[in-house]
A and B are shown apart, each in its own frame.
Chain A
Amino acid sequence: MLRLENLVKQYATGDKALRGVDLVVPEGQVMALIGPSGAGKSTLIRCVNRLIEPTSGNIWLKQTQITGLRGGALRAVRRRIGMIFQEYALVERLTVMENVLSGRLGYVNFWQSWFRRFPQSDVAAAFHLLERVGLSEFVDKRADALSGGQRQRVGIARALIQHPDLLLVDEPTASLDPKTSRQIMRLITELARERGLAVVINIHDVPLAQMFAQRIVGLRAGEIVYDGPPDGLTNQQLTTIYGEEDWNQERSSDSEAAELTLEARATV
């Protein structure tokens, strides 16, 4: 499905963000990409749809070689790849419906999109998806009037209406509370399973990754240092990925910490 071969990214500033990454994600797999800040997770998934230009290496989506595509061919492969962002990246001044339909931009011509005359099948799909993510009452609300969790649902609908083969997800829950985070992760993984999509999710929350992903890849300083099942992630592996830390203490106090933050919020 998705295949990376010796992917290297060196920024103009000289930072080597990726140092030869080899990775294969098969059809229907939900893969979580974890690693410390600056490990290159965002760089990796942005290279896949060429929002960032990789320095060298190859990327394949099914039979299509993404690296080296230009113009119309690049746009055609981008519409097969849905993307979900940490800060939702909705167009704030457009309505929920317009944001969802913008996922179809790659399929319609300029005048159709300018006059908002999308094919009826697209509109029907948008209504269906909005119902599925629980936002059918917000169709004509402006995106900036929504809460974080609601915005991320719009982001999910926008990515899925593309009918993608692959979903790239960059820290979908980093700005959400623990409960909403789980709901969003559940929604993404359920929808992906229904449609048989491959998913790459960048995520900082290791327990959440273990709960929802079938496979975990650990990235450190631009190199893969762990690749295996969620329950194979031992304390020693975590140390390899993130560096020295008392993981048992961290993990057992996780739920406590969540409660504490909730309490703190309530008292403020």
Chain B
Amino acid sequence: MAAGRTWRKPPFIRNPWLRWALIIGALVYLVLALSSVNVNPDRIARGMDRAARIFSAFLQPDFTSRWRDIQAGILESLTMTVVSTVAGVMLAIPVGFGAARNLAPLPIYLFCRGIVTISRTFQEVIIAIVFVVMFGFGPLAGVCTLTFATIGFLAKLLAEDIEEIDPAQMEAIRATGSSFPQLLTYAILPQVTPRLVGLSIYRFDINLRESAIVGIVGAGGIGSTLQTSFSRYDYDVSSAILIIIITLVMITELLSGVIRKRLQ
């Protein structure tokens, strides 16, 4: 009879010595790490106090007293978003084609992959700091940051999409005696356009969100207005700005969702 035979899931690490050594090591590290953070109850208490003030101010958002600044910030953010998305998409398309292994010769492929990798390695805030140092405070730095980030994002996804197209359609168009530009527009574009448009719209709402963040390091837009209000302790104004940002982001997300669904 086989009824007495038991079974257990084999442990992830077979060697029991190694297993227990790793578990105990991890626990010891955790305890040491916690004790090194230096939790100061006094500072936490004071922080709580300030938090209470901030939150009470947040409950009474003040849209009116700084409305001009807020309006200018929003307009600047929207402009930054539109300009950087359009510029980014236009630059990302050639880079994306160049970064597709099934189209580009090796040197071009490596060059375009390099651009993509650099753009994706650094977080927007870091790039924004670099551009602020280069061009000074203001929306130009923000536009450059978002454009650069858009190139990395879109070109990578576009290249992956191109690498997965149906090669038979490409072969058929090539067999008609078409030129390379015709091959791109007849065999490849139709296969990738819906996704390209969808991703561009998606990137638009990422850029809107990011435009508020890069503003905090001085790259213009509503983020800069927000930063100013914080440094003046105008938390009620900050609250108004945050509410506006949230609403804007929600609206664009809704719209882009609807458009992208239509495209399928």
Contact = CB atoms under 8 A, between A and B. Distances in A.
Nearest to B174: A51
Interface string B160-194: 00000010110111111111011001110011011
B176 A78 contact: yes
A83 B177 CA distance: 11
B contact patch SS? helix
Interface stretch (A90-98, A124-132, A185-193, A199-207): A90-98
A106 interface: yes
B169 A162 contact: no
B171 A93 contact: no
Which size bracket describes the interface of A in this complex?
Answer: 20 to 34
Contact of A113 (B171, B172, B174, B185): B185
A152 interface: no
Nearest to A49: B175
Contacts of B174: 51, 78
Contact of A162 (B177, B182, B191, B193): B177
A102 B173 contact: yes
A79 interface: yes
A216 B54 CA distance: 88
Contacts of A79: 176-177
A92 B176 contact: no
Interface in A72-111: 75-81, 83, 85, 87, 89-94, 98, 102-107, 110
Interface in A119-169: 155, 158, 162
B191 to A, nearest CB: 7
Contacts of B194: 93
A75 B177 contact: yes
A77 B177 CA distance: 7
A91 B190 contact: yes
A98 B182 CA distance: 13
A83 B194 CA distance: 28
Interface string B178-219: 110110011100110110000000000000000000000000
A105 B169 contact: no
Contacts of B171: 51, 85, 89
B178 A75 contact: yes
A102 B185 CA distance: 11
B181 A78 contact: no
B172 A85 contact: yes
A75 B172 CA distance: 13
B93 to A, nearest CB: 15
Contact of B176 (A87, A94, A102, A114): A102
Which 7 residue pairs are nearest across A and B when measured between Cβ atoms? A106-B177, A79-B177, A78-B177, A105-B178, A89-B172, A89-B168, A93-B190
Interface of A: 49, 51, 75-81, 83, 85, 87, 89-94, 98, 102-107, 110, 113-114, 155, 158, 162
11 contacts: A75-B177, A85-B172, A92-B166, A93-B190, A93-B194, A102-B176, A104-B176, A105-B173, A106-B176, A110-B181, A110-B185
Given A51-B175, A80-B177, A105-B176, 9 more contacts: A75-B177, A89-B168, A91-B173, A93-B190, A104-B176, A105-B177, A105-B186, A113-B182, A113-B185
